Amino acid sequence: MSARELHLNAFLMGVGHHEAAWRHPRTDPRALDDVAHFQHLARIAERGTFDSVFLADGVQIWGDVRHTAANRFEPITLLTAISQATERIGLIATASTGFSEPYNLARLFSSLDHISGGRAGWNIVTTAGDRSAQNFNREVNLEHAERYERADEFLDVVTALWDSWEDDALVVDRESGVFAEDAKVHEIDHKGRFFSVRGPLNAVRSPQGHPLLVQAGSSEDGKAFASAWAEAVFTAHQTHGDATAFYADLKRRVTARGRAADDVKVLPGIVPVLGGTQAQARALAEELDGLIIPARAVRQLTELIGVDLTDHPLDARLPEFPPVSRVNGAKSRFELVRDLAQRERLTLRQLLGRLGGGRGHQVVAGTPEQVADHIELWFTTGAADGFNVMAPLLPSGLEDFVDHVVPLLRARGLFRAEYTGRTLREHYGLPRPVSRYASAALV
Amino acid sequence: MSARELHLNAFLMGVGHHEAAWRHPRTDPRALDDVAHFQHLARIAERGTFDSVFLADGVQIWGDVRHTAANRFEPITLLTAISQATERIGLIATASTGFSEPYNLARLFSSLDHISGGRAGWNIVTTAGDRSAQNFNREVNLEHAERYERADEFLDVVTALWDSWEDDALVVDRESGVFAEDAKVHEIDHKGRFFSVRGPLNAVRSPQGHPLLVQAGSSEDGKAFASAWAEAVFTAHQTHGDATAFYADLKRRVTARGRAADDVKVLPGIVPVLGGTQAQARALAEELDGLIIPARAVRQLTELIGVDLTDHPLDARLPEFPPVSRVNGAKSRFELVRDLAQRERLTLRQLLGRLGGGRGHQVVAGTPEQVADHIELWFTTGAADGFNVMAPLLPSGLEDFVDHVVPLLRARGLFRAEYTGRTLREHYGLPRPVSRYASAALV
């Protein structure tokens, strides 16, 4: 194994990442309701010694109820159930800083970290869109920059709460009746613009100290936030050039903050459409794209980039896009879609086909060797520290990846053959944070 | 088995309900950190065909950090882990309406209900005390009545969200690409004093329709709330007279609302201190009371009843209590403690001993036959529909109850010998609610 280690995260999405996966005969759409389906997926990923599994989330119904295989489970509870069916694999849940209280979310992640023996991770999102805000007492969501200001303060509070019990606060002396050393349990006394939180948390420090912090925003605000907080970054790129530019930019920002470049792992998404031959892989990709329902896809694209395309003719070239400064949604995803459409002069229908497989993530249709080549190239040429693997069909696409791509990556010395660590931090090669209140920290 | 069925809920509290349980050699205080301990407790209760297990909760540190065996796990995640180690037993989590958003809590309970196959219950609390409020951006908590107004609106929103997908909304027709019948997925468009929530929930209706609703407030506001919403009521009484008066009053309020008296199960707490002889049971009770640390107990009592007793001499009679109208904490618990202190003219130290075992719940120290007699008497004379069983030591006290008291209750035809239902509602003999949006509901 080379000194630098590839990281693989299995992004679990219902019965597959392709938006029409549920219509394909190789899936069982009733599995969306079945916790055993998700436990099975995690066990497949664990067999492939993936670093982690990951669940996206939102606080509204996404897309079109009529044609969308909708989410069911809340991610933290589902990952708790998955923790009981697995031993080693990390468990990353998305949760929004927009509509929760830091005390509640700090507890949920601390509890998942305790229950799983140190395998919890938090994919931090700020949540765009008025539709979400309308489930939380607001007509209109906060502006992009303000959402990130709130997120920044939210992280200040949550990490302080996670630190509020020092690691050695417990005494548990039956004889004297002293359970904890009260000098090692700290009020955090946070008073800020968005939150006032006294603390301490009502839970002892969790196995990882802090659950792993993950972030996926690639806008200017997003990259600034990531360079301050993130330990892994999920990102989406259509070209090697875009990916290397993003990678270099993010690492530069991280080191400018005084952190080591390697303290943040960059994981672009990849949608591996696998076949025994390239022709078979392409046929599967085309079969899936043929199942897309255009009206539904247009509505999802409209939500994804924050530009209304519902009245645009399917076979007409795309219109000029507004300046990104006017976009209040996911700015980086908007830019990716705009650049793709302009670079390749796509019609709306063509764009939907390009996005249906992975919502902007790179689709690689090919043989296991071709997919492994792609991963190796990006990993060794400054585009990625690993990949967020988004199987188009689940479980079959993940099984194919684990059975046919992972062995190649192992044979090439790129990827572990067995777990060496117990916690998610150990899988990602990241240190366990010292509590900011620890006596040693005051020296 | 008689037509009327006894219900038993196992209230799980760390290593035991007695406040000094962690100091007793029959417990392992390190188990507080161990999910396997709680799964083991639930399996013991399931072996005893209990209706449910139950976890209390708070959003602050209770009592005195130095001398208190503190909480670790957040209840919804812990019960999710327990669901994976059990098959039939119900799973009741406490959660506060004071410091969460209804959309978030509706999702968490829906998710637990899906994951557990219909075994979720919610013990609704409003949360007293400024210390909790200070973890959520407020210096001072809402007043008692206002907390219940918020709770009432919170329940309106949550139950509407749980109903927002009709049971038959899913179509899942691959051929046509129709996943759900959009006419059967409803926005709730709630606009109230505390909340504005558009909906629908981003989860299909859960197995029970609504997770079971439990409530434990016994004040005027609490009883009004319970009669509107609760399906099971946890309550605390020191005398049979108080218990029958409460029982009759609550059932009267329930029927006055147009609900059937049997639609709400009343479960007083019982702390069974078991011994092979009554003398052995009393010796264990005294041994435990001898481990109480008075300074800690006074602080907890002060928090429990909202009256500061920290400067009161331990061996002096208790002072006059203020009028209940001035109490902004748990009013009914205040009245219970006041009545106990006045009726028996207790000193502070004596009161602490009476409360140390169960924080105001009835302690019954005796043989299995005596405990079974107590349960049968209360069950058959209008004091209880069942009991909230609070073992002083865990797991041993719960094991003793399951192995020695449950067989007596079964032999007397009072309690089930095996489960007949699959869901928590079925265990409690309660119907599955029809969605308020169901077409049939409009006829």
What CATH number is given to the structural domain containing A41?
A: 3.20.20.30
Amino acid at A190: H
Neighbours of A145 (CB within 10 A): 12
Residue B441, pLDDT score:
52
Q: How far apart are the first and last CA of chain B?
A: 39
**In whole angstroms, how far apart are CA B181 and each of A64, A155, A406, B136, B234?**
11, 40, 40, 39, 40
Q: Which residue of B has its CA nearest to A181?
A: B66
Short-list A24, A25, A34, CA closest to A14:
A34
Sorted by sequence, the CB contacts under 8 Å of residue A8 that are 6+ apart come out as A48, A50, A51, A386, A387, A389, A406, A415
Q: How many CB pairs under 8 A join A and B?
A: 203
Query: Among all chains, which residue has been given the structure tokens 């079959």?
Result: A396
Tell whether A219 is in a known binding site: yes
Q: Distance (Å, rounded) from C-alpha B85 to C-alpha B79?
A: 10
Q: Is the pLDDT of residue B357 over 80?
A: no
| Residues B227-251, mean pLDDT to the nearest whole number | 96
Residue A286, pLDDT score:
92
Residue B440, pLDDT score:
57
Portion of chain B with pLDDT greater than 90, in percent: 79
Q: Distance (Å, rounded) from C-alpha A133 to C-alpha A153?
A: 19
- Which run of H or E residues covers position A297? helix A294-305
B432 CB within 8 Å of a chain A CB: no
Q: Is the pLDDT of residue A107 over 60?
A: yes
Q: List the 165-184 stretch of B: residues with Cβ below 8 A of A.
A: 172, 174, 177-182
| Residues A293-312, mean pLDDT to the nearest whole number | 86
**DSSP labels for B149-212?**
HHHHHHHHHHHHHHHSB-TT-EEEETTTTEEE-GGGB----EE-SS-EE----SSPPBTTBSPE
Sorted by sequence, the CB contacts under 8 Å of residue B202 that are 6+ apart come out as A58, A59, A60, A61, A62, A70, A71, B107
Whether A419 contacts A427, CB under 8 Å? yes
* Three-state SS at A10: strand
Q: Distance (Å, rounded) from C-alpha A12 to C-alpha A42?
A: 8
A64 contact residues in B (CB cutoff 8 A): 182
The answer to whether residue B112 is domain-embedded is yes
Q: List the 40-79 stretch of A: residues with Cβ below 8 A of B.
A: 58-62, 64-74, 76-78
DSSP code, position A3: S
Among the partner-chain residues A68, A182, A197, the one whose CB lies closest to the CB of B66 is A182
Residue A440, pLDDT score:
57
| Residues A428-442, mean pLDDT to the nearest whole number | 86
Tens of pLDDT, residue by residue over B392-405, are: 999 999 999 999 99
Q: Distance (Å, rounded) from C-alpha A203 to C-alpha B246?
A: 35
* Three-state SS at B215: strand
The answer to whether residue A322 is domain-embedded is no
Tens of pLDDT, residue by residue over A50-77, are: 999 999 999 998 778 898 887 789 999 9
Q: What angle do CA B165, B167, B168 make, to 5 degrees?
A: 105
B68 contact residues in A (CB cutoff 8 A): 179-180
The answer to whether residue A352 is domain-embedded is no
B191 CB within 8 Å of a chain A CB: no
Query: The domain containing residue A178 runs over which residues?
Result: 7-274+363-442
The answer to whether residue A342 is domain-embedded is no
**DSSP labels for A45-100?**
HHHTT-SEEEE---SS--S-TTT-----S-HHHHHHHHHTT-SS-EEEEEEESSSS
Residue B334, pLDDT score:
86
Q: Distance (Å, rounded) from C-alpha A394 to C-alpha B162?
A: 28
Q: What are φ and ψ of residue B70, in 5° steps?
A: -80, 155
Residue B2, pLDDT score:
47
Among the partner-chain residues B84, B103, B202, the one whose CB lies closest to the CB of A84 is B84
The answer to whether residue B58 is domain-embedded is yes
How many domains, in total, are found in chain B?
1
Residue A327, pLDDT score:
77
Q: Which residue of B has its CA nearest to A116?
A: B35
Out of A147-151, B81-85, B344-348, least confident range? B344-348
Whether A92 contacts A214, CB under 8 Å? yes
Tell whether A218 is in a known binding site: yes
Residue predicted with more confidence, A72 or B408? B408
Q: Is the pLDDT of residue B1 over 60?
A: no
Amino acid at B237: H
Beta bridge partners of B389: B10, B270
| Interface-testing mutation among B39, B43, B74, with chain A (most A C-beta atoms within 10 A) | B74
* Three-state SS at B37: helix
| Interface-testing mutation among B15, B66, B77, B196, with chain A (most A C-beta atoms within 10 A) | B77
- Which run of H or E residues covers position B12? strand B7-12
The band of A441, judged by pLDDT with boundaries at 50, 70 and 90, is: low
Burial A13-46 (b: 16+ CB within 10 A, else e): bbbbbbbbbbbbebbebebbeebebbbbbbbbbb
Tens of pLDDT, residue by residue over B13-71, are: 999 999 999 999 999 999 999 999 999 999 999 999 999 999 999 999 877 889 888 77
Q: Is A17 left (phi over 0), alpha (psi -120 to 50) or beta?
A: alpha
| Residues B182-191, mean pLDDT to the nearest whole number | 96
Tens of pLDDT, residue by residue over A9-41, are: 999 999 999 989 999 999 999 999 999 999 999
At A272, list the tokens: 């591996």
Among the partner-chain residues A77, A83, A137, the one whose CB lies closest to the CB of B195 is A137
Q: Which residue of A has its CA nearest to B188?
A: A135
Q: List the 325-384 stretch of B: residues with Cβ below 8 A of A.
A: none
Q: Which residue of A has its CA nearest to B161?
A: A135
| Residues B157-177, mean pLDDT to the nearest whole number | 96
The answer to whether residue B2 is domain-embedded is no
| Residues A264-291, mean pLDDT to the nearest whole number | 96
The answer to whether residue A418 is domain-embedded is yes
| Residues B174-187, mean pLDDT to the nearest whole number | 95
| Interface-testing mutation among B104, B161, B196, with chain A (most A C-beta atoms within 10 A) | B104
Tens of pLDDT, residue by residue over A361-383, are: 899 999 999 999 999 999 999 99
Whether A148 contacts A227, CB under 8 Å? no
Residue A363, pLDDT score:
92
Q: What angle do CA A312, A317, A320 make, to 5 degrees?
A: 80
Q: Is the pLDDT of residue A2 over 70?
A: no
Q: Which residue of B has its CA nearest to A96?
A: B104
The nearest CA of chain B is from the CA of A93 a distance in Å of 13
The answer to whether residue B393 is domain-embedded is yes
Residue A1, pLDDT score:
44
Q: Is the pLDDT of residue B443 over 60?
A: no
